[in-house]
Protein backbone atom coordinates (compact mmCIF):
# COMPACT_ATOMS: atom_id res chain seq x y z
CA UNK A 1 0.00 0.00 0.00
CA UNK A 2 1.25 3.45 -0.88
CA UNK A 3 0.79 6.90 0.59
CA UNK A 4 -1.32 8.20 -2.32
CA UNK A 5 -4.06 5.82 -1.18
CA UNK A 6 -4.84 8.07 1.83
CA UNK A 7 -6.87 11.21 1.12
CA UNK A 8 -7.44 14.12 3.46
CA UNK A 9 -10.94 14.69 4.86
CA UNK A 10 -13.16 17.42 3.44
CA UNK A 11 -12.79 21.13 4.35
CA UNK A 12 -15.74 20.97 6.74
CA UNK A 13 -13.32 19.30 9.17
CA UNK A 14 -10.70 21.99 8.81
CA UNK A 15 -10.18 24.62 11.47
CA UNK A 16 -11.31 28.07 10.33
CA UNK A 17 -10.41 31.29 12.17
CA UNK A 18 -10.18 29.50 15.48
CA UNK A 19 -13.92 28.71 15.50
CA UNK A 20 -15.21 25.14 15.62
CA UNK A 21 -16.56 24.22 12.15
CA UNK A 22 -20.25 23.48 11.85
CA UNK A 23 -21.26 20.35 10.04
CA UNK A 24 -24.35 18.24 9.56
CA UNK A 25 -24.79 14.46 9.46
CA UNK A 26 -25.31 14.73 5.67
CA UNK A 27 -21.96 16.51 5.26
CA UNK A 28 -20.28 13.92 7.43
CA UNK A 29 -21.81 11.10 5.41
CA UNK A 30 -20.61 12.68 2.15
CA UNK A 31 -17.09 12.81 3.52
CA UNK A 32 -17.30 9.23 4.74
CA UNK A 33 -18.48 8.25 1.27
CA UNK A 34 -15.41 9.90 -0.29
CA UNK A 35 -13.14 8.13 2.17
CA UNK A 36 -14.87 4.81 1.52
CA UNK A 37 -14.44 5.19 -2.27
CA UNK A 38 -10.76 6.07 -1.84
CA UNK A 39 -10.16 2.91 0.19
CA UNK A 40 -12.17 0.79 -2.26
CA UNK A 41 -10.14 2.08 -5.25
CA UNK A 42 -6.87 1.47 -3.42
CA UNK A 43 -7.86 -2.10 -2.56
CA UNK A 44 -9.03 -2.74 -6.13
CA UNK A 45 -5.58 -1.70 -7.41
CA UNK A 46 -3.97 -4.02 -4.88
CA UNK A 47 -6.21 -6.91 -5.93
CA UNK A 48 -5.31 -6.42 -9.60
CA UNK A 49 -1.60 -6.19 -8.71
CA UNK A 50 -1.89 -9.38 -6.67
CA UNK A 51 -3.63 -11.18 -9.55
CA UNK A 52 -0.82 -10.06 -11.87
CA UNK A 53 1.86 -11.39 -9.48
CA UNK A 54 0.02 -14.71 -9.19
CA UNK A 55 -0.25 -15.02 -12.98
CA UNK A 56 3.45 -14.22 -13.51
CA UNK A 57 4.73 -16.71 -10.96
CA UNK A 58 2.25 -19.36 -12.07
CA UNK A 59 3.84 -19.01 -15.51
CA UNK A 60 7.32 -19.23 -13.94
CA UNK A 61 6.25 -22.42 -12.16
CA UNK A 62 5.44 -23.95 -15.52
CA UNK A 63 8.52 -22.51 -17.28
CA UNK A 64 11.35 -23.28 -14.83
CA UNK A 65 12.43 -26.92 -14.72
CA UNK A 66 13.98 -27.07 -11.23
CA UNK A 67 12.09 -28.04 -8.09
CA UNK A 68 13.62 -25.24 -5.99
CA UNK A 69 12.43 -22.56 -8.37
CA UNK A 70 8.97 -24.07 -8.52
CA UNK A 71 8.76 -24.18 -4.74
CA UNK A 72 9.86 -20.54 -4.59
CA UNK A 73 7.20 -19.56 -7.11
CA UNK A 74 4.58 -21.50 -5.17
CA UNK A 75 5.55 -19.76 -1.92
CA UNK A 76 5.32 -16.35 -3.59
CA UNK A 77 1.87 -17.22 -4.95
CA UNK A 78 0.78 -18.40 -1.50
CA UNK A 79 2.19 -15.25 0.08
CA UNK A 80 0.32 -13.07 -2.43
CA UNK A 81 -2.97 -14.83 -1.68
CA UNK A 82 -2.36 -14.35 2.04
CA UNK A 83 -1.64 -10.63 1.53
CA UNK A 84 -4.83 -10.16 -0.50
CA UNK A 85 -6.84 -11.92 2.21
CA UNK A 86 -5.27 -9.81 4.96
CA UNK A 87 -5.86 -6.61 2.98
CA UNK A 88 -9.53 -7.49 2.69
CA UNK A 89 -9.78 -8.46 6.36
CA UNK A 90 -7.82 -5.56 7.83
CA UNK A 91 -8.43 -2.66 5.45
CA UNK A 92 -11.53 -3.18 3.34
CA UNK A 93 -13.95 -0.28 2.90
CA UNK A 94 -16.93 -0.41 5.25
CA UNK A 95 -20.03 1.58 4.28
CA UNK A 96 -21.57 3.69 7.01
CA UNK A 97 -25.10 2.79 8.15
CA UNK A 98 -27.71 5.16 6.71
CA UNK A 99 -29.31 6.01 10.06
CA UNK A 100 -26.27 7.49 11.82
CA UNK A 101 -26.59 10.79 13.65
CA UNK A 102 -23.93 13.50 13.85
CA UNK A 103 -22.02 12.08 16.81
CA UNK A 104 -22.44 8.53 15.53
CA UNK A 105 -21.00 9.61 12.16
CA UNK A 106 -17.93 11.04 13.86
CA UNK A 107 -17.51 7.91 15.98
CA UNK A 108 -17.87 5.65 12.94
CA UNK A 109 -15.38 7.65 10.88
CA UNK A 110 -12.91 7.70 13.77
CA UNK A 111 -13.14 3.91 14.06
CA UNK A 112 -12.55 3.54 10.31
CA UNK A 113 -9.53 5.86 10.42
CA UNK A 114 -8.11 3.87 13.33
CA UNK A 115 -8.63 0.60 11.46
CA UNK A 116 -6.84 1.89 8.36
CA UNK A 117 -4.08 3.43 10.49
CA UNK A 118 -3.47 0.15 12.32
CA UNK A 119 -3.34 -1.73 9.01
CA UNK A 120 -0.71 0.67 7.68
CA UNK A 121 1.35 0.55 10.87
CA UNK A 122 1.49 -3.25 10.80
CA UNK A 123 2.19 -3.50 7.07
CA UNK A 124 5.55 -5.17 7.67
CA UNK A 125 3.99 -8.22 9.33
CA UNK A 126 1.11 -8.92 6.92
CA UNK A 127 2.04 -7.17 3.66
CA UNK A 128 5.82 -7.58 3.31
CA UNK A 129 6.91 -10.51 5.48
CA UNK A 130 4.74 -13.11 3.65
CA UNK A 131 6.82 -12.53 0.50
CA UNK A 132 10.20 -13.17 2.15
CA UNK A 133 10.20 -17.00 2.26
CA UNK A 134 9.26 -17.27 -1.41
CA UNK A 135 11.76 -14.62 -2.47
CA UNK A 136 14.59 -16.33 -0.56
CA UNK A 137 13.81 -19.75 -2.04
CA UNK A 138 13.36 -18.25 -5.51
CA UNK A 139 16.72 -16.45 -5.42
CA UNK A 140 18.45 -19.60 -4.18
CA UNK A 141 16.75 -21.48 -7.01
CA UNK A 142 18.09 -18.93 -9.51
CA UNK A 143 21.60 -19.55 -8.17
CA UNK A 144 21.17 -23.32 -8.56
CA UNK A 145 19.69 -22.96 -12.03
CA UNK A 146 22.52 -20.72 -13.22
CA UNK A 147 25.07 -23.23 -11.92
CA UNK A 148 23.22 -26.10 -13.60
CA UNK A 149 23.00 -24.54 -17.06
CA UNK A 150 26.62 -23.33 -16.86
CA UNK A 151 27.88 -26.82 -16.10
CA UNK A 152 25.61 -28.27 -18.79
CA UNK A 153 27.23 -25.92 -21.31
CA UNK A 154 30.69 -27.12 -20.25
CA UNK A 155 31.75 -23.74 -18.89
CA UNK A 156 33.21 -22.73 -15.55
CA UNK A 157 30.71 -21.49 -13.00
CA UNK A 158 31.89 -18.34 -11.20
CA UNK A 159 30.21 -18.65 -7.82
CA UNK A 160 31.49 -15.27 -6.63
CA UNK A 161 29.92 -13.43 -9.56
CA UNK A 162 26.66 -15.32 -9.10
CA UNK A 163 26.55 -14.59 -5.37
CA UNK A 164 27.24 -10.91 -6.05
CA UNK A 165 24.44 -10.73 -8.60
CA UNK A 166 22.00 -12.47 -6.26
CA UNK A 167 23.11 -10.16 -3.46
CA UNK A 168 22.43 -7.09 -5.60
CA UNK A 169 18.95 -8.36 -6.43
CA UNK A 170 18.28 -9.08 -2.76
CA UNK A 171 19.55 -5.62 -1.84
CA UNK A 172 17.18 -3.99 -4.34
CA UNK A 173 14.29 -6.01 -2.93
CA UNK A 174 15.27 -4.94 0.60
CA UNK A 175 15.33 -1.28 -0.47
CA UNK A 176 11.88 -1.57 -2.03
CA UNK A 177 10.53 -3.27 1.11
CA UNK A 178 12.00 -0.55 3.32
CA UNK A 179 10.57 2.20 1.10
CA UNK A 180 7.10 0.61 1.17
CA UNK A 181 7.29 0.31 4.96
CA UNK A 182 8.35 3.95 5.38
CA UNK A 183 5.66 5.25 3.01
CA UNK A 184 3.00 3.34 4.87
CA UNK A 185 4.26 4.63 8.22
CA UNK A 186 4.04 8.15 6.81
CA UNK A 187 0.49 7.49 5.62
CA UNK A 188 -0.41 6.09 9.05
CA UNK A 189 0.83 9.30 10.66
CA UNK A 190 -1.42 11.31 8.31
CA UNK A 191 -4.38 9.23 9.39
CA UNK A 192 -3.45 9.78 13.03
CA UNK A 193 -3.50 13.54 12.36
CA UNK A 194 -7.04 13.18 11.01
CA UNK A 195 -8.02 11.19 14.10
CA UNK A 196 -6.63 13.97 16.30
CA UNK A 197 -8.64 16.50 14.29
CA UNK A 198 -11.83 14.51 14.77
CA UNK A 199 -11.13 14.42 18.50
CA UNK A 200 -10.72 18.20 18.41
CA UNK A 201 -14.04 18.59 16.60
CA UNK A 202 -15.79 16.27 19.02
CA UNK A 203 -14.42 18.14 22.00
CA UNK A 204 -15.25 21.62 20.67
CA UNK A 205 -18.69 20.75 19.33
CA UNK A 206 -19.80 18.79 22.41
User: What are the pLDDT digits (tens) for 124-154?
Assistant: 999 999 999 999 999 999 999 999 888 888 8
Asked if residues 157 and 151 have their Cβ atoms less than 8 Å apart, the reply is yes
- Residue 157: pLDDT band (50, 70, 90) is confident
Picking from 1, 9, 48, the residue whose alpha carbon sits closest to that of residue 27 is 9
Is 161 inside any structural domain?
Answer: yes
Q: How many domains does the chain have?
A: 1
Q: Is residue 6 situated within a structural domain?
A: no
DSSP, collapsed to helix, strand or coil, labels residue 29 as: helix
The pLDDT value recorded for residue 32 is: 81
In a domain, 1, yes or no: no
Could you tell me if residue 4 is inside a domain? Answer: no
Which helix (H) or strand (E) segment holds residue 109: the answer is helix 102-121
pTM: 0.82
Contact yes or no for 102/201 (Cβ under 8 A): no
Determine the number of helices (DSSP H) and then strands (DSSP E) in the chain. 6, 0
100 pLDDT band (50/70/90 cuts)? low
Nearest CA to 179 out of 123, 114, 113, 119 is that of 123
What is the pLDDT confidence band of residue 25, given thresholds at 50, 70 and 90? low
Q: Which domain holds residue 104?
A: 13-205
Q: Does some domain include residue 8?
A: no
Amino acid sequence: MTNDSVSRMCDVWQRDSGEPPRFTPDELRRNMGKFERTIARRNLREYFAGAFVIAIFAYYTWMFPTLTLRIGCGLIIFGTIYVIYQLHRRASARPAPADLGQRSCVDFQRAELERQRDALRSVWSWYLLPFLPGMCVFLFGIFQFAMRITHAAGRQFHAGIAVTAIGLIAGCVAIVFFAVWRLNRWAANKLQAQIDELDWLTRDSA
